[in-house]
Amino acid sequence: MTSLSKMSLSTQEDRDRLTYPLSIAPMMDRTDRHYRYFMRQITRRTLLYTEMVTSAAIKHGDQDYLLGFSPEEKPLALQVGGDNSQDLAECARIAEAMGYDEINLNVGCPSDRVQSGNFGACLMKTPDLVAKCIESMIAAAKIPVSVKHRIGVDDLDTYEDMQNFVRILSEAGCQRFSVHARKAWLQGLSPKDNREIPPLRYADVHRLKQEFPHLFIEINGGFTTLAQAHEQLQQVDAVMIGRAAYDNPYLFATSDREFFGDETPMRSRVEVAEAMIPYIDQWTAKGLRLHKITRHMLQLFHGQAGSRLWKRIITEKSCIVGAGSEVIREAIAAVKR
């Protein structure tokens, strides 16, 4: 891994903001504010991302609903989708004003809806346009601007295609790249298939780091254990974990100690669940349906005795009108028994 002293970043503050070696990927219908707060009961240090929010929604929608977060969720990056440089610059200003630690441009999502708006993975075909967007975002705000992209798209899938894309964006000022080590097919594959069918090409991302040692390169795609993350850090600067962070959230229980040197005692699964009770009370008192929070907690006891009972109680009772934290207390008691 390239030492941080070799990174061409302007200030120590910038370096500190860009040195998270572990992150949880932005995931649609997954990484909302309630999931992020839940994950903060497990890991305090791992960089978290929002779901992707379009620039149009940020400009014209309910910003508190779309972008609101609890202070406990930081460090936190906002992921935005769009292709209009002026709109994205405004998004960067808004993100900074709201207290986000980073803004990330999505150049990796292959869904039809994203393509129809001319953003996501299809933007890999127009690196000059992306560079213009990056320049505008950097000029608009002081927080880091990063890009999440694929190793290729459709027939633009050679290493040289990705190398050219990264070179153009780095010349525009981008210094942090999160690279999903699969190409994307814009036609013929669903977003789910695009996460699974194109083969992983980790070596291409490793080569990218070797050829751009001054850039911060994060690798994403297919990682399910912290041991795999440690192995990747021999080649790149950071590792992003996606679906495994949702399917097995307690995977991150030791991440603060292993990756950040934080010796704060880790919470047990039961302690994590108990820590969510005041948060649940706060939100259900505002009228939020319980399942909006507990749906993210179903896999807390993944692989443990009592997991099936935990999920059954929460699934059956969280949807009842007026349900509150008593459901969690009941599920905890059942697991303890």
- What is each CA distance from 167 to 170, 190, 210, 238, in whole angstroms? 5, 29, 13, 19
d(CA 228, CA 28): 24
Q: What is the 3-state secondary structure (H, E, C) of 150-216?
A: EEEECCECCHHHHHHHHHHHHHCCCCEEEEEEEEECCCCCCHHHHCCCCCCCHHHHHHHHHHCCCCE
Which single residue is written with the structure tokens 């950097």?
A: 138
Q: Which two tokens stand for residue 175?
A: 């210094």
Contact of 74 with 99, CB cutoff 8 Å: yes
Q: Which two tokens stand for residue 35?
A: 């999931």
d(CA 90, CA 311): 42
Contact of 78 with 50, CB cutoff 8 Å: yes
Cis ω for the linkage preceding 75 (within 30 of 0): yes
- Mode of pairing for the β-strands spanning 22-24 and 238-241: parallel
Long-range Cβ contacts of 321-327 (<8 Å, 24+ apart): 321/289, 323/284, 323/289, 323/290, 323/291, 324/280, 324/281, 324/284, 324/290, 325/276, 325/277, 325/280, 325/281, 325/284, 327/290, 327/294
Q: What is the DSSP letter of 301?
A: T
Identity of the residue numbered 51: E
Q: Catalytic site residue 109?
A: yes
314 half-sphere exposure, CB direction, 13 A CA radius: 26
Q: Which of 109, 122, 133, 174 is catalytic?
A: 109
**Residues labelled as active-site residues:** 109
